[in-house]
Amino acid sequence: MKKIYLLACLLGLSTFSIAQTGGLVAHWDMNGNADDTSGGGHNGTMYNVTPAVGMDGVMGHGLYFNGTNSLITVPYSPAFNVSALSICAVVYPQGFYTGTCQSNTILERGSTGPGTGNFYFYYGDKPGDNYDCYSVDTTVEVFKMDANGFPFASITEFNYTPHVQENTWYTVVVTFNDTTFKTYINGVLKSSVDMLSPGTPMGTNTDGINIGFDAFDSAAGYPYPFKGIIDDIKLFSKALTQTEVDSYSVSTTLAVKNAYQPQIGVQLFPNPAQDLLTIASTGAMQYEMDITVTDLLGRELIRAKSENALAKINTSELAPGIYFANIYIGGQLISKKFLKE
Q: 160 and 49, same structural domain?
A: yes
Q: 332 and 251, same structural domain?
A: no
Q: 267 and 226, same structural domain?
A: no
Decide: 296 and 310 in contact? Cβ < 8 Å.
no
| pLDDT score, position 93 | 94
CATH of residue 230's domain is 2.60.120.200
pLDDT in tens, 169-212: 899 999 999 889 999 998 889 999 888 877 788 899 999 999 99
The domain boundary, picked from 201, 231, 256, lies at 256
Domain that holds residue 272: 262-340
Which residue(s) pair with 292 in the sheet?
303, 326
Q: 269 and 177, same structural domain?
A: no
Q: 186 and 328, same structural domain?
A: no
CATH of residue 282's domain is 2.60.40.1930
State phi, psi for 242 to the nearest 5 degrees: -60, -40
pLDDT in tens, 79-111: 999 999 999 999 999 999 988 888 999 999 998
Q: 192 and 116, same structural domain?
A: yes
The domain boundary, picked from 233, 256, 279, lies at 256
Q: 227 and 95, same structural domain?
A: yes
Which residue(s) pair with 21 in the sheet?
none
pTM over 0.85: no
Residue count of the chain, please give it: 341
- Number of independent structural domains in the chain: 2
User: Rounded to whole angstroms, what are the CA distances from 164 to 82, 86, 95, 147, 250?
Assistant: 28, 20, 10, 21, 17
Q: 291 and 214, same structural domain?
A: no
3-state secondary structure 314-331: ECCCCCCEEEEEEEEECC
| pLDDT score, position 247 | 82
Q: 158 and 272, same structural domain?
A: no
